[in-house]
Amino acid sequence: MKLEENAALDAVGKVEQLNENQVKQVWSRCLAIIKDNINQQTFKTWFESTVPLKLEDNKLTIRVPSQFFYEWLEEHYYSLINRTLAEVIGENARLVYSVLVEDGPDELTRHAITIPSAKQVLGPPPTYHKDSLPPATSPTPAALAGRATGSFLNARYTFENFIKGDSNQLARAAAVAVANNPGGTSFNPLVIYGGVGLGKTHLIQAIGSHALNHQRADKVFYVSSEKFTIEFVDAIQSDRISEFSSFYRSINLLIVDDIQFFAGKEKTQEIFFHTFNTLHQFGKQIVLSCDRSPKELKGLDERLVSRFQWGLTADIQPPELETRIAILQKKAEDDGVELPQDVIEFIATHVTSNIRELEGCLIGLLAHASLKNEEITLDLARHVVKTVVGDIRAHVTIEDIQRTVSEYFGTPEDLIRAKTRKQEVVIARQIAMYIAKELTNSSLKTIGLHFGGRDHSTVIHAYQSVEDLMKTDERYSRTVQDIKKRLQLYH
């Protein structure tokens, strides 16, 4: 601590009012403590622009640039500020904000109002007006007017019908937090990334709908990065670039989908960068999606990538089996159909990487069922899945079959491959060969090789024996079907 500061602090409490310099010293001492407790960028954004005005009766008045700053500081740094004041000034120290409020388009007409810091008792102050931000006064351009009323959200995408799972847990939780308090969490921006068809659009739109429906944000706007780019180019060509950017800057919750399309588009990125900065500075919420981690995105300005680190980047992974089953069940339920459990499991085990494909299967099933009046059976499901994800045979390997058969009979796998002629091993081995022929594309020769180098005639013989037995022995037939089903369900 410097000497002058000491002197100033000693003076606190002894004299009622300090001179301007002393007040500055008190506040800079506070700022030094605050700075130690938050990250540099946050400090720069929220504290550097504060100006100490006076210190009277233990009340320190600081000026903040806007209503928004006041709210932000109160919401996020109330206890830090209070602790700091107590440390520097004394236990009963209090902070008073002097807020510049914009009356009109002209900077000069701003006036200051003072608001005591008291988060718990104070609701939004009466003078609060949300549009005290730069674009508020600019007329909405004709071309953009239509969307001032619409947010371009699809009502289908809600949190209620977004199934939770390990694969989307973080992304979903962050999305819910942001939707409840846009601009008010540390998840700004919120960047959701993940592969195709995993629910990015669904989730980021759900944020917008929730925020709108629960009056957490009034101006919500969803746009794809392609549309943003097209409109930007359009605005340049028709010389309306300032209208374009003021439209975007008037949004409270901006959702930009698929920002990977910004890659390599320097000018678009530049305007987006500025829009981003303005919105972020005023605590407006930004939500973005990308098909991979922004860090891995080539052709994206470093500055933008580093901005994204101010908030939270959360991924969505391909759904695990339980989630896939839950999604199918929910969607079937929403469509008012009851799917047999084995059908659901079959689809969920074969369509693994993409939720859009899961939906595709369901739609296919429903189409068959309603248009052709077919019953929804495992066979129909198999047919539909084949058309959606290609040949499912390729999914089961001979090793899978050997393992499953060995588990089923409790026969060690290596015995199934060995030359043993023990009766129970022979039964298991023949069934494994039969299923290998049924479910894989392998030739008889390949199958033989996998079973201890037997030749193709042995495989044919096994196949025919199993087929014959299945016709005559119902229990045996059920056993084979059971094993086949297991394999189809879990591979």
Tell me how crowded residue 43 is: count the other CB atoms within 10 A of its CB.
15
**Contacts (Cβ under 8 Å, ≥6 apart) of 42:** none
Token readout for 276 is 């981003």
Give the phi and the psi of residue 410 in degrees, each rounded to 5: 70, 25
The single residue listed with the structure tokens 């718990």 is: 120
Is 288 among the residues that bind ligand ADP (CB under 6 A)? no
Q: In the set 23, 163, 300, 396, which binds ligand ADP (CB under 6 A)?
A: 163
Choose from ligand ADP, Mg ion, none: what does 440 bind? Cβ within 5-8 Å by kind. Answer: none
Q: Which one, of 213, 150, 204, 156, lies nearest residue 178 by Cα? A: 204
The alpha-helical segments, DSSP class H, found in 127-194 are 142-149, 169-180
Q: How far is the CB of 189 from Mg ion (least distance, A)?
A: 17
Is 196 among the residues that bind ligand ADP (CB under 6 A)? yes
Q: How far is the CB of 162 from Mg ion (least distance, A)?
A: 13
Minimum CB distance to ligand ADP smaller for 301 or for 359: 359
Minimum CB distance to ligand ADP smaller for 126 or for 336: 336
Q: In the set 50, 201, 269, 430, which binds ligand ADP (CB under 6 A)?
A: 201
Is 200 among the residues that bind ligand ADP (CB under 6 A)? yes
Site for ligand ADP in 304-323 (CB under 6 A): none
**Exposed/middle/buried for 143, CB within 10 Å: 0-12, 13-18, 19+?**
middle
Is 332 among the residues that bind ligand ADP (CB under 6 A)? no
Minimum CB distance to Mg ion smaller for 202 or for 395: 202
Is 198 among the residues that bind ligand ADP (CB under 6 A)? yes
- Scanning 57-65, 197-205, 406-414, 424-432 for contacts with ligand ADP by CB under 6 A, the matching segment is 197-205
Rounded distance between C-alpha atoms, residue 446 and residue 130, angstroms: 72
Q: In the set 125, 141, 197, 318, which binds ligand ADP (CB under 6 A)?
A: 197
Minimum CB distance to Mg ion smaller for 47 or for 221: 221
Choose from ligand ADP, Mg ion, none: what does 318 bind? Cβ within 5-8 Å by kind. Answer: none
Q: How far is the CB of 156 from ligand ADP (least distance, A)?
A: 7
Token readout for 395 is 């999914």
Q: Are strands 312-316 and 190-194 parallel, antiparallel or unpaired?
A: parallel
Is 344 among the residues that bind ligand ADP (CB under 6 A)? no
Token readout for 28 is 């800079």
DSSP string, 470-491: HHH-HHHHHHHHHHHHHHHHH-
Q: How far is the CB of 175 from ligand ADP (least distance, A)?
A: 11
Q: Which one, of 338, 384, 335, lies nearest residue 361 by Cα? A: 384
Cβ(316)–Cβ(165) below 8 Å: no
Binding site for ligand ADP (CB under 6 A): 161-163, 168, 194, 196-202, 327, 355-356, 359
